[in-house]
């Protein structure tokens, strides 16, 4: 049985199933991270003025986090360039930008690894303070999303790209959908960075 | 996004947005070193983050040219998100009002 509206738009919505699906998934992700941001606000308000002290004690590395922000923003650019390359019918350039996106995700995680290990060396664990608990919870969940996005992009850039020769529009749409997820991950970091490191 | 797009024009916009996001990141870090009170720093930091997030959503996620059903879905999500953010803030306000009422009740008239 053929699944309808995988490429062509549904007459009711004007969109294919994949596009509707990814946006519904992203709305659930907004609520997931929203719940954690609400928790963050609650903890900060309830800290009786000790938040700044806990934040200072955690010794977060601002230069490394700034570098990570730049890496994620660059990966968002390479992601849209990968999609634009497919729209132009350039498979080679798509693969180049696709792997650059995956590579940027890898660099982000390596930097995060160095940040986390520095914390553990100073015996800063989630149970050490309320600040570190919510810091590890939110940045850890974000890192899991980066890993998921990398796997998704790696599949379409690698084995999944064979579809280019048989159903180019299908591949272009799927890359746009994986891009939507990747940009969302970038968008979450845009708020995590100032909230934990700077404010 | 709509099917008929000028990719070359889009790519130019992507690079402009990328530049704006980098400038925004530098501005966020720069604001950290300003000698201002916590509420002012929070306002500046979250304002810059919101502008950056809007740029990503509008141009990288193509929301500037999307179908109506997506806008309605996101509008509903935003309403729930605002309610979610308001809950801890309302709790704080309720606590402070409660504390104020307690102090008032114990003060000699």
Residue contact A77–B15, C-beta within 8 A = yes
Residue contact B61–A184, C-beta within 8 A = yes
d(CA B81, CA A32): 10
* Residue A53 resides in a domain: yes
ipTM of the complex: 0.92
Q: Find the domain containing A115 and state its range.
A: 17-198
Least confident of A37-41, A76-80, B104-108: B104-108
Which residues in chain A are closer than 8 Å to B88, comparing Cβ atoms? 38-39, 41-42, 45
Q: Give me the residue from B32, B48, B85 closest to A34, CB to CB.
A: B85
* Residue A81 resides in a domain: yes
Q: Is the pLDDT of residue B24 over 90?
A: yes
Give the total number of structural domains in chain A: 1
**CATH number, position A180:** 1.20.120.80
For position B3, what pLDDT does the model report? 47
- Predicted TM-score of the model (pTM): 0.91
**B54-81 pLDDT per residue, tens:** 999 999 999 999 999 999 999 999 999 9
Q: Is the pLDDT of residue B96 over 70?
A: no
Q: Is the pLDDT of residue B101 over 90?
A: no
Residue contact A198–B32, C-beta within 8 A = yes
8 A C-beta contact, residue B18 and residue A77: yes
Nearest to B45 by CA among A194, A28, A48: A194
Instruction: Provide the percentage of residues in chain A whose pLDDT is more than 90.
Output: 81
**The most confident of A193-197, B40-44, B85-89, by mean pLDDT:** A193-197
* Residue A5 resides in a domain: no
Nearest chain A CA: its distance from B101 CA (Å): 19
Q: What is the DSSP string of B38-60?
A: HHHHHHHHHHHHHHHHHHIIIII
* Residue A9 resides in a domain: no
Mean of the per-residue pLDDT values for chain A?
Answer: 94
* Residue A10 resides in a domain: no
For position B109, what pLDDT does the model report? 59
d(CA A103, CA A100): 5
Decide which of B85 and B108 is more confident: B85
Mean local confidence (pLDDT), A130-135: 95
* Residue A4 resides in a domain: no
* Residue A171 resides in a domain: yes
User: Residue B2: which pLDDT band, with cuts at 50, 70 and 90?
Assistant: very low
Residue contact A87–B25, C-beta within 8 A = no
Decide which of A42 and B98 is more confident: A42
Q: Is the pLDDT of residue B11 over 80?
A: yes
* Residue A40 resides in a domain: yes
């Amino acid at each position: 049985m053929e699944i309808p509206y995988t490429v062509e738009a549904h007459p009711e919505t004007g969109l294919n199933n994949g596009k509707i699906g990814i946006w519904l998934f992203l709305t659930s992700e907004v609520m997931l991270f929203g719940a954690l941001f609400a928790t963050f606000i609650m903890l900060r308000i309830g800290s009786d003025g000790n938040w700044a002290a806990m934040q200072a004690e955690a010794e977060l590395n601002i230069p490394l986090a700034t570098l990570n922000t730049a890496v994620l923003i660059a990966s968002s650019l390479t992601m849209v360039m990968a999609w634009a390359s497919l729209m132009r019918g350039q498979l080679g350039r798509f693969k180049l930008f696709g792997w650059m996106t995956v590579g940027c995700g890898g660099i982000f995680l390596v930097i995060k690894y160095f940040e986390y290990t520095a914390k553990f060396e100073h015996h800063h664990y989630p149970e050490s303070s309320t600040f570190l608990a919510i810091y590890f919870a939110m940045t850890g969940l974000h890192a899991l999303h980066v890993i998921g996005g990398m796997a998704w992009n790696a599949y379409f850039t690698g084995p999944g790209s064979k579809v280019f020769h048989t159903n180019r529009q299908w591949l272009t749409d799927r890359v746009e959908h994986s891009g939507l997820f990747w940009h969302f991950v970038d968008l979450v970091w845009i708020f995590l960075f100032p909230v934990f490191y700077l404010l | 996004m709509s099917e008929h797009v000028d990719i070359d024009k889009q790519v130019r916009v992507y690079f402009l947005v990328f530049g704006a996001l980098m400038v925004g990141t530098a501005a966020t870090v720069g604001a950290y070193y300003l000698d201002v009170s916590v509420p002012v720093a929070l306002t500046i930091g979250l304002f810059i983050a919101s502008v950056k997030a809007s740029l990503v959503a509008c141009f990288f996620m193509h929301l500037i040219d999307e179908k109506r059903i997506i806008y309605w879905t996101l509008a509903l999500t935003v309403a729930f998100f605002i309610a979610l953010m308001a809950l801890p803030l309302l709790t704080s306000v309720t606590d402070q009002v409660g504390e104020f009422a307690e102090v008032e009740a114990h003060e000699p008239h």
